[in-house]
């Protein structure tokens, strides 16, 4: 799908615009938008609306043909709701999806969007264009890479054009670039997440990382099992004992900022399949544990997006990839392991493996002297209980530098629609991780599990500014719509865009 901008000036005649389909809005009780008034010179649209052909429900559509003196071959009317009220973000998504539903049933090859974007709540034109592109791309996505027969996408539309005035033209052009880059990053993340675990192994993630690095001229380093042993990554290695698949620590360096400027480091959990180990998971829905690498996948998607945008930042992506399987060599509940930091950890639950691999990666990244570190992980089911499938859980310390990082991430989430919710980290929760036999245990008691998981990680992040994103509730969907979502690629990319000096995006 291609996207473009049509420049509309004060002297442009809407009647003369040539397009296969012109999309315009009307409001509740058949109140016309200013654009519709301009094209309804002969009252045809007013008469059609009076006949009751357009449903009063928000997002309802009515396709018209052969309207007098109009060059557009078709006009698509979309109900935008109450004219006196701003359009809520959730309703805006419904409107775009309703338009998408019409795409599939018409022969038009191009479409001109002339919607009143300024009527949308918390109006930001660039964000709305990006969001529109992401919604459309998401609707066109198919998770059929491993099917013998691919289901064809029944749509004739090849190009979607946004009608903008001269004031917004440049911002619109840039927003299309950003939207397409983020959409492709999301697609990469979803593709990786949806692959079966016998294909998407740690070695497969290594190969994808190498290809991405080659395509965009990024430096890459792969740390294998033997190197992990020399680095004394005992916590990470303890998770890998039960698997024949070799673990990988993948470091990708996107260094496009100022020389010696401290990098932003993204650390992603890449457990390509999680049985739970000896603390084995129930069989129901265990297939979905192929999604336990979505934190890693989101880093690759984000690196793709920022490379397409050429952000002027130094960013290091660190992917810690392994399986958590059972065998005679598997780590047992009660085993004590030594982390790279030197801290000893009592492994009370082998299904709390994400924090065990992340803690050594978080220690490793100290060498980069980062400005901030953000880890992304499908870490706890407790986060799903707490926040459902709407918000990522955001955890960080409570001081000036960490509060700024939290606020920046929350802002990026609100702007992008890929939202997070700030959760607490306090010393009171650290007491739940006390062990009688080691420096720390890898789980607390049954309460506040998502918080104690974040508190565990916090013990390994004392030397830099850090935040943790628990994406267990947002990384994939279950049921009939099972599949990876691509989150939080949009949140992370927005966060980085807002930091980049060459992106005029506020």
Residue-wise pLDDT tens digits, 345-365: 999 999 999 999 999 999 999
State yes or no: pLDDT of 471 exceeds 90: yes
Preceding peptide of 243 cis, ω within 30°: no
Report pLDDT for 118.
86
**What pLDDT does 448 receive?**
95
What is the rounded average pLDDT for all residues in the chain? 95
Catalytic: 230?
no
Q: What is the CATH number of domain 2-166?
A: 3.40.220.10
List the chain domain ranges: 2-166, 183-499
Average pLDDT over residues 65-88: 91
Q: Which fold has domain 183-499?
A: Aminopeptidase (3.40.630)
Dump pLDDT digits (tens) for 268-312: 999 999 999 999 999 999 999 999 999 999 999 999 999 999 999
For the segment 438-453, the average pLDDT, to the nearest whole number, is 95
Residue tagged active-site, from 37, 281, 477, 482: 281
Spatial distance between the Cα atoms of 420 and 463, rounded to a whole number of angstroms: 24
Q: What is the pLDDT of residue 506?
A: 61
* Beta carbons of 202 and 192 less than 8 angstroms apart: no
pLDDT (average), residues 170-187: 97
Is 153 a residue whose pLDDT tops 90? Answer: no
In the prediction, which pLDDT does 29 show? 83
Going by the DSSP 8-state scheme, the letter that residue 399 receives in this structure is S
Determine what percent of the chain is predicted with pLDDT higher than 70: 100
175 C-beta neighbours (distance < 10 Å), count:
26
123: alpha, beta or left? (left if phi > 0; alpha if psi -120 to 50): beta
Task: Give the bridge partners for 372, in sequence order.
Answer: 264
Can 18 be counted among the known catalytic residues?
no
pLDDT per position as a tens digit, 393-431: 999 999 999 999 999 999 999 999 999 999 999 999 999
Percent of the chain with pLDDT over 90: 84
**8-state DSSP, 63:** E
The reported pLDDT for the residue numbered 337 is: 98
Catalytic site residue from 248, 355, 487, 499:
355
pLDDT at residue 464 in the model: 98
- State the pLDDT at residue 89: 87
pLDDT at residue number 155 = 83
C-beta separation of 392 from 420 below 8 A: yes
Give the span between the Cα atoms of 351 and 355, in whole angstroms: 10
Which range has the worst mean pLDDT, 85-94, 262-271, 281-290? 85-94
CA angle 153, 155, 156 (to 5 degrees): 135
């Amino acid at each position: 799908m291609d996207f473009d901008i049509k420049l509309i000036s004060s002297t442009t005649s809407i009647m003369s615009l040539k397009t296969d389909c012109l999309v315009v809005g009307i409001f509740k009780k058949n109140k016309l938008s200013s654009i519709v008034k301009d094209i309804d010179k002969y009252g045809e649209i007013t008469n059609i609306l009076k006949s009751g052909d357009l449903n009063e429900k928000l997002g309802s559509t009515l396709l018209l043909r052969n309207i007098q003196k109009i060059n557009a071959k078709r006009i698509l009317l979309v109900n935008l709701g109450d004219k006196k009220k701003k359009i809520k973000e959730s309703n805006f998504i419904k409107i775009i999806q309703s338009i998408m539903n019409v795409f599939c049933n018409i022969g038009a090859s191009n479409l001109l969007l002339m919607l009143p974007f300024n009527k949308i709540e918390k109006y930001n034109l660039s964000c709305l264009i990006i969001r529109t592109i992401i919604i459309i791309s998401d609707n066109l996505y198919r998770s059929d890479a491993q099917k013998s027969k691919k289901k064809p996408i029944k749509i004739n539309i090849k190009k979607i054009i946004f009608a903008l005035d001269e004031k917004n033209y440049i911002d619109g052009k840039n927003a299309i670039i950003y939207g397409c880059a983020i959409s492709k990053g999301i697609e990469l993340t979803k593709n990786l997440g949806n692959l079966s675990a016998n294909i998407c192994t740690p070695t497969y993630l290594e190969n994808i990382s190498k290809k991405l690095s080659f395509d965009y001229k990024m430096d890459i380093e792969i740390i294998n099992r033997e190197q992990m042993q020399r680095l004394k990554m005992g916590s990470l290695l303890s998770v890998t004992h039960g698997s024949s698949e070799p673990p990988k620590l993948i470091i990708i360096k996107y260094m496009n900022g100022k020389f010696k400027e401290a990098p932003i480091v993204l650390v992603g959990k890449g457990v390509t399949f999680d049985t739970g180990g000896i603390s084995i998971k129930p069989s129901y829905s265990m297939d979905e544990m192929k999604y336990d690498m979505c934190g890693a996948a989101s880093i690759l998607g984000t690196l793709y997006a920022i490379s397409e945008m050429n952000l002027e930042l130094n960013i290091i992506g660190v992917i810690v990839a392994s399986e958590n399987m059972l065998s005679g060599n598997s780590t047992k509940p009660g085993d004590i392991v030594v982390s790279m930091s030197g801290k000893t950890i009592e492994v009370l639950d082998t299904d709390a493996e994400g924090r065990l691999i992340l803690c050594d990666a978080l220690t490793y990244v100290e060498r980069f002297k980062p400005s901030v570190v953000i880890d992304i992980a499908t870490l706890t089911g407790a986060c799903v209980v707490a926040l459902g499938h709407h918000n990522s859980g955001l955890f960080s310390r409570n001081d000036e530098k960490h509060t700024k990082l939290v606020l920046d991430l929350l802002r990026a989430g609100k702007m992008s629609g890929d939202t997070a919710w700030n959760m607490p980290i306090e010393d009171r929760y650290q007491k739940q991780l006390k062990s009688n036999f080691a420096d720390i245990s890898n789980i607390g008691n049954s309460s506040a599990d998502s918080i104690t998981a974040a508190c565990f990680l916090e013990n390994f992040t004392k030397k830099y500014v850090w935040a943790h994103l628990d994406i267990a509730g947002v990384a994939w969907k279950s049921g009939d719509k099972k599949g990876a979502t691509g989150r939080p690629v949009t949140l992370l990319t927005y966060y980085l865009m807002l930091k980049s000096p060459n992106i005029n995006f506020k």
